[in-house]
Amino acid sequence: MDSINTLKLLTSQMSFEADGEPPALPSPAPACFSPKERDQAFTHPAQLPNGQKILLLKTLLSSVCERDCFYCPFRTGRDFRRATFKPDEFAVLFAKLSAAKMAEGLFLSSGVVGGGTRTQDKILATAELLRQKYQYRGYIHLKIMPGAEKDQVYRAMQLADRVSVNLEAPNTERLAKLAPHKIFLEELLQPLKWVDEFRKTIPAYKFWNGRAPSTVTQFVAGGSDESDLELLSATNWLNKNVSLKRAYFSAFHPIMDTPFENKPATNPMREHRLYQASFLLRDYGFDLEDLPFANDSNLPLHADPKQAWAQMYLIDKPIEINKAEKRELIRIPGIGLKGAEAILLARRTSRLRDLSALKKLGIVAERAAPYLLFDGRRTAKQIELW
Ligand code: SF4
C-alpha cells in the first residue's frame, strides 16, 4: 500500500476521536465550513479554542493494537484491514500535505504496539521530524499513550500545542468494565498529573511556541454503565486539579465483532447534555450540587441543565437585570459569558428597560425573560409565561 492509501485508511478509522470545539448538538461536521472545505481529502474541519478554523488531519500512526479494550474497533484479534506508518514516512507525507495547504493541523494517535513507551517514542519521533526537519509551525495535538513515561510526556509537551490522555471511564471500577488491561491511576491519570506539574514548573520558553500545551481527555459516555454524576465528578476534579482544558464525551456506539457489539448505543442527546453541564462547571461557576441530577444520578435528557436549575431556583426569585453581578447574570438561561459582559457594559450608560434592550445586546431574551426583573418589574412576556 502506498503512503496516500495508508493515510486514507488510517484517517477513515479515526473518526471517533475529538478535537476542537464540540458541536452544539451532536452532528458530523460544523456548519461553519463550506462544502468544499468539508470535502478536502483526509482532513476534518476543526475550530481551535482561540476561534481559528483549520483543516485538521486526524490520524493514527498505526491501527495495529495489542490491547483488548471491549468497545474499541482496533482491539487485538479483531479482523479488519490494518495499516502502519513509520515516523519518517508519515512526516514527509504530512509535510507535503501541509505545504499544499491540504492540512493545517495534525492530531496524531496510535494503537499500542510493543508497549506504551515504544509507541510513544514513535509518536514523538514523528513530531520531532515535523518540527525540526520540516520546520512545521502549525497545530499539533499528540496523544499520550497508556504507560508512557514521564520524560516522554515532557517531550510531547515541548512539541505539541495540545496533548491528551483518554481516560475513557470516570474511575478505576468503571474502566475495568471497558478496558480490562488499562490501569486508571498509573497509566492514565498519572500522565495528566505530570502534564499539570510541567505546566506549573517549566518556564514557558521551553515549549515550542513559548506556551505550555493545553490538555484534554475523552470519555466513552455510556460505555461502562456509568452515571452522568460519575462522569461530571471526574470532569470537575480534572478541571480543578490538573487544569483540564476540556473533557470530550463520545456517546458509545457498538462495534461489530467486539464484546460490546450487542450493547445498546448511547442516546446522542446524553452527549450534548454532558457538554452543557461540563461548561456550567468549568465556565459558569456551577458546582456539582447545582446540576439537576435525577434519582438515577443522570441528567434529564429533555432539559437543558441550566434551564432546569433556573426553573428550580430563579423562577420564584427573579434576578434584577440592572443590579446583578456577572456571576448571577451568567446563571440566567439565554445569557452567556459574552452576553453578561455586554449587559455590564450597557449598564454603564443606561438602564435596561425591557426585553428589546437585551435583544439588541444579542441575548436570547425570550429564554431569559422568566427569570428577570427590570427595575423591580416583570416584563409583559414574563407575566404571560407566569
Ligand atoms: S489501547 Fe486504544 S487503540 Fe488499543 S484497543 Fe484500547 S482504546 Fe483501542
Q: What are the structural domain ranges in the chain? A: 3-285, 314-385
Query: Which of 59, 60, 75 maximizes ligand 1 atoms within 8 Å of its Cβ, making it the mutation to test the pocket?
Result: 75
Fold category of 3-285 in CATH: TIM Barrel (3.20.20)
pLDDT at 4: 85
Q: What is the pLDDT along the chain (386 residues), one digit of tens a residue?
A: 688 888 888 888 776 566 665 544 443 333 333 333 334 457 888 887 677 889 999 999 999 999 999 999 999 999 999 999 999 999 999 999 999 999 999 999 999 999 999 999 999 999 999 999 999 999 999 999 999 999 999 999 999 999 999 999 999 999 999 998 999 999 999 999 999 999 999 999 999 999 999 999 999 999 999 999 999 999 999 999 999 999 999 999 999 999 999 999 999 999 999 999 999 999 999 999 999 999 999 999 999 999 999 999 999 999 999 999 999 999 999 999 999 999 999 999 999 999 999 999 999 999 999 999 999 998 765 555 54
pLDDT at 326: 97
pLDDT at 378: 85
Give 20's DSSP letter: S
pLDDT at 92: 97
- Closest ligand 1 atom to 65 CA: 4
b/e burial code for range 224-255 (CB count within 10 A of at least 16 → b): bebbbbbbbbbbbebbeebebebbbbbbbbeb
Ligand 1 atom 1: the closest Cα is on which residue?
A: 67
Give the residues across from 329 on adjacent strands: none
Q: What are phi and psi of 91, to 5 degrees?
A: -60, -45
Grid coordinates 495489542 are at which residue? 66
Q: What are phi and psi of 55, to 5 degrees?
A: -95, 110
Ligand 1 centre and the CA of 64: distance in Å?
9
Q: How far apart are CA 289 and CA 294, in angstroms?
A: 12
Strand locations in the chain, DSSP E?
Answer: 43-47, 53-60, 105-109, 139-143, 162-164, 214-221, 246-251, 319-320, 372-373
Query: Which of 14, 58, 78, 112 maximizes ligand 1 atoms within 8 Å of its Cβ, making it the mutation to test the pocket?
Result: 112
Nearest to 340 by CA among 331, 354, 330: 330
pLDDT at 166: 97
Grid coordinates 450487542 are at which residue? 262
What distances in angstroms separate CA 37 from CA 30, 31, 54, 59, one per listed residue? 11, 10, 10, 18
Ligand 1 centre and the CA of 84: distance in Å?
15
69 lines ligand 1 (CB under 6 A): yes
Give the residues across from 373 on adjacent strands: 320
65 lines ligand 1 (CB under 6 A): yes
pLDDT at 20: 63
pLDDT at 25: 46
Q: How far apart are CA 242 and CA 204, in angstroms?
A: 17
Q: Do 40 and 102 contact (CB within 8 A), yes or no?
A: yes
179 lines ligand 1 (CB under 6 A): yes
67 lines ligand 1 (CB under 6 A): yes
Q: Is the dihedral of CA 113, 115, 121, 127 positive or negative?
A: positive
Q: How far apart are CA 15 and CA 32, in angstroms?
A: 19
pLDDT at 27: 37
- Closest ligand 1 atom to 168 CA: 7
